[in-house]
Structure formats: structure tokens, C-alpha cells
Amino acid sequence: MLVIKEELMAEIRAEAERCYPDECCGFILGKLDGNEKTAVSVTANENRSGNSERYHRFTITADDMLKAEMQARREKLDIIGFYHSHPDCPAIPSEYDRSHALAVYSYIIVSCVNGKAAGITNQQLDPASDYTRFTEEEIRIWQ
């Protein structure tokens, strides 16, 4: 389960709208406690996909990941997940999303329709499928 404040969800929705018609992407930093992940902050990241690809995929480089890891360590947190948007598409993971996902992380996906955040899902690779498919992970939003 992912526990996240409404204000952080609002930041993610705003980033999806700001980046439209391209995909946004970023990191979710927080704390792990067994199967529960508690988000403390979100950090937007530049979508490193080429200009002709940004509308339907996002890329985070190894250097971006290292910088986020260093930020998390400074704040005594972990990277617990990632977020990205699907412009004018449902908030369900694509095959590209699945093939680039890593186990244990939460993946928030925001559907952004005509520049407005619409649906949101939270996904995680399913260990019961040998991590070959996503399942929806419970998300608890609090004030």
C-alpha cells in the first residue's frame, strides 16, 4: 500500500497538466515499513525521451536516478516509487511501462485529458506473476 498526502497528489496532477501534451515523470520519496510505503515528497524530473517520443513515453537516466538517490539519502528517505502521466490515454500501464519497471516500487500514473488531470492509478509489479505484469496497488490519500 502507498500512503500519500493529498498535497503531494496535487503536485503530481499539476505536473501532468504542466507537461501536457508530453508525459511528465518524477520520483516519490518516502519511508518503507513492510508492505507499506509512506510518501514524504515528490520530485519532478525532466523527461529525457527525445522530443518525438515525449508524448507517449518517459525516460529517467541513470544520472537522474543517482541524483534522486543522493537527495533521498540526504533526507534520510528512500525512493519508494515513480510517477508519470499518460496524455490523452487511460491511467493504465503500457507494455513499455511494464518492461521498464522495477520490483518493489509504486508507479502512479495520471491520465491527462485535454490538459487536465483525469484518472489516477497506482501500480506495482506483481511478484505472483514473476514480475511480468502490474497489479493495482492500494493507495491511501490523507490530508
Predicted pLDDT of residue 90:
97
- Please state the φ and ψ torsions of residue 4, each to the nearest 5 degrees: -145, 140
pLDDT in tens, the chain (143 residues): 999 999 999 999 999 999 999 999 999 999 999 889 999 999 999 999 999 999 999 999 999 999 999 999 999 999 999 999 999 999 999 999 999 998 889 999 999 999 999 999 999 998 888 888 999 999 999 88
CA distance 84 to 92: 11
CATH number at 14 reads 3.40.140.10
Predicted pLDDT of residue 35:
83
CA distance 32 to 106: 11
CA distance 131 to 66: 24
By residue range, what is the domain housing residue 47? 2-142
Domain total in the chain:
1
**94 CB-near residues (< 8 Å, 6+ apart):** 56, 57, 86
